[in-house]
Structure 1
Amino acid sequence: MTPADIEFLARFLKERSGLAIGEEKRYLLESRLAPIVRRAGLASLPALVARLRSGVDSALAQDVVEAMTTNESFFFRDGAPFTQFTDVILPQLMAARAATKTIRIWCAACSTGQEPYSLAMLLADRAAQLAGWKVEIVATDLSNEVLERARSGLFTQFEVQRGLPIRLLLKHFTQEGDRWRIAPKLREMAQFRTLNLLRDFSPLGRFDVVFCRNVLIYFDEATKTDVLTRIGRQMAPDGFLLLGAAETVLGGRSPFKPHPSHRGLFMPTPASGAAAPASSAARFAVVR
């Protein structure tokens, strides 16, 4: 590929997904896009770039974006956010929402579904405590491929061995050959939707908790600021934001402030702006 080809791909990926790709990532472009070149019957990577430049193949464009996104995920990743959810967030929200008994959770960039299903397991294990409550988990990703896998709830042996306690595996999963499928009750607790964080997500409505973990690290500072600002507008004033272990909010321009007692947990600032109304099309899962 020529420098002009790499420059085009970097601009294309930045506009479509927010990914910041430089010349130093040439090897990554070549290794991840080579299979697409073969599947599309193209002669070379420059031929792929030429097809993208023409703008006539939207399916190919989506394939390129999906190939370049990192879909690393595993159950109860990093541990601490899920402990904070059960020990800090859930008790505070249950006290604050006692009148409505509703909680909305958004898992942004959910990949193959381990994060929302981890939350579903935590909620299911507290079914008695949450009896009568309506809890909605909305899980989004820009990749249709990983969302289809998430909706199936089917995981390999390797995937269930990464972070999932054996107690929860035996309680909530059924073995199918060499794979494991999560219980239908837990699959029904999560709504999986295609969503690009660079686009308008206000139709999702207002959320009490947002997990936006391990995706901002792929964005430049301006994109991070924009995404965080718009997330802030979607959150209840007393809501909670959880980021990845290597991520943080961005100084004075951020609509969030660190929780005073819990590292990695953030809360909206008063300057976040009015929160969006709850989605009128929301489908809640009643925890029994």
Structure 2
Amino acid sequence: MTELEFEALRAFLKARSGLALSTDKRYLVESRLAPVCTRFKIENLSILVREIKSGRSRALEDATIEAMTTNETFFFRDKAPFDLFQDVLLPRFIKERAASRRLRIWCAAASSGQEPYSLAMILKEASARMPGWQIDIVATDISNDVLEKARAGIYNQFEVQRGLPVRLLVKYFAQKGEQWQIAPEIRSMVDFRYLNLIEDFSRLGQFDIVYCRNVLIYFDIQMKANVLRRIAQQMAPDGSLVLGASETILGITEALTLDPAYRGLYAKSGTANSVGRTALAGTR
């Protein structure tokens, strides 16, 4: 693959998925796209790039994007965002949505489902405090392969050992040979949908809580600003956004405001939303 072909591939990935691939990631391209070449019986990466540029095969384009997408995730990843949900956000919205008894949550870039299922288990554990509530968890990803896995809710021993408390494994999973499948009651709580974040997602509706963790790091600043602005538009006036620990809005967008009390938590700019500074001040 020549430099010009590599640049053409970088441009394609950015245009179709938002992925801003740096020039030093050529080794990554070669290792991840070799199986795609084998699958489509393409002799080498140069021919693969030529086929992509021709626009003849949407299946090849999608496979290339999926191969270059990072799908690293595990149950209760980083712990703090889930403690935040359980101890701060959920009590707040139980109080503030008492009249409507409805809560809508969006997990963007949900990968193989561990994040939304982690939230679903927390909600299930709290169900006694929420009788008659309608809970909507929408989980989206650009990869159809990981969405298929997420819908099945089947994980191997290594995957269920990464972050998942044994108590929840025993309570909400059934062993199937060497694998574990999450209970139907938890699977039914999550609506998995295909979504490319660089495209319009207004059809998803309005959300009270948005988790968009560890995906913006793959976008350039302009794309980050665009996605964050549109996420803010989908948030309820008093809604909350949770980003990854290494992600920030600083110098990127003014559509959101950092909550100084909680790392990675954001509100819509110009709203009165102030998590933990009033009614929840005593819970810290």
**Which aligned pairs between 1:221-260 and structure 2 lie closer than 5 A?**
221-251=221-251, 253-260=253-260
Q: CA deviation at 1:270?
A: 2.1
TM-score computed with the length of structure 2 as normaliser: 0.94
Q: Which residue of 2 aligns with 1:180?
A: 180
Percent same amino acid at aligned positions?
A: 56
What is the alpha-carbon distance in structure 2 between the residues aligned to residue 95 and residue 43 of structure 1? Answer: 60
Query: After TM superposition, what 4+ stretches of structure 1 lie above 2 angstroms from structure 2?
Result: 250-254
Give SS of 1:111's match: coil
Give SS of 1:128's match: helix
Q: Which residue of 1 aligns with 2:205?
A: 205
More moved, 202-211 vs 21-30: 21-30
Q: CA deviation at 1:98?
A: 1.0
Give SS of 2:62's match: helix
Q: Which residue of 2 aligns with 1:117?
A: 117
1:63 matched to 2:60: no
CA contact (8 A) 2:245 2:263 kept: no
CA contact (8 A) 1:225 1:250 kept: no
More moved, 247-256 vs 46-55: 247-256
Name the amino acid aligned to 1:48. Answer: L
CA contact (8 A) 2:224 2:252 kept: no
Q: Which residue of 2 aligns with 1:134?
A: 134
What is the alpha-carbon distance in structure 1 between the residues aligned to residue 77 and residue 211 of structure 2? Answer: 12
Name the amino acid aligned to 1:193. Answer: R
Residues 219-249 of structure 1, C-alpha deviation per residue, up to 9 Å, x if partnerless? 0000000000000000001111001111011
Q: Which residue of 2 aligns with 1:146?
A: 146
What is the alpha-carbon distance in structure 2 between the residues aligned to residue 53 and residue 264 of structure 1? Answer: 39
Structure 2 residues not aligned, in runs of 5+: 272-284
Q: Which residue of 1 aligns with 2:275?
A: none
What is the alpha-carbon distance in structure 2 between the residues aligned to residue 44 and residue 251 of structure 1? Answer: 41
Q: CA deviation at 1:252?
A: 6.8
What is the alpha-carbon distance in structure 2 between the residues aligned to residue 191 and residue 257 of structure 1? Answer: 28
CA contact (8 A) 1:105 1:137 kept: yes
What is the alpha-carbon distance in structure 1 between the residues aligned to residue 65 and residue 73 of structure 2? Answer: 18
Mark the CA change 1:213 to 1:252 in structure 2 (over 3 Å): closer, same or farther: closer
What is the alpha-carbon distance in structure 1 between the residues aligned to residue 252 and residue 270 of structure 2? Answer: 13
Q: CA deviation at 1:197?
A: 0.2
Residues 118-138 of structure 1, C-alpha deviation per residue, up to 9 Å, x if partnerless? 001000111100111111000
CA contact (8 A) 2:106 2:138 kept: yes
CA RMSD after TM alignment: 1.0
TM-score computed with the length of structure 1 as normaliser: 0.93
Residues 175-226 of structure 1, C-alpha deviation per residue, up to 9 Å, x if partnerless? 0000000000000000000000000000000000000000000000000000
1:168 matched to 2:168: yes
What is the alpha-carbon distance in structure 2 between the residues aligned to residue 225 and residue 211 of structure 1? Answer: 16
Give SS of 1:240's match: strand
Q: Which residue of 1 aligns with 2:9?
A: 9
Which structure would you say has the larger RCO, counting Cα contacts within 8 Å and 6 or more residues apart? 1
CA contact (8 A) 1:237 1:270 kept: no
Mark the CA change 1:208 to 1:216 in structure 2 (over 3 Å): closer, same or farther: same
What is the alpha-carbon distance in structure 1 between the residues aligned to residue 131 and residue 6 of structure 2? Answer: 54
More moved, 20-29 vs 171-180: 20-29
Q: CA deviation at 1:260?
A: 3.0
Structure 1 residues not aligned, in runs of 5+: 272-288
What is the alpha-carbon distance in structure 1 between the residues aligned to residue 33 and residue 253 of structure 2? Answer: 36
Give SS of 1:24's match: coil
Q: Which residue of 2 aligns with 1:264?
A: 264
Q: CA deviation at 1:156?
A: 0.5
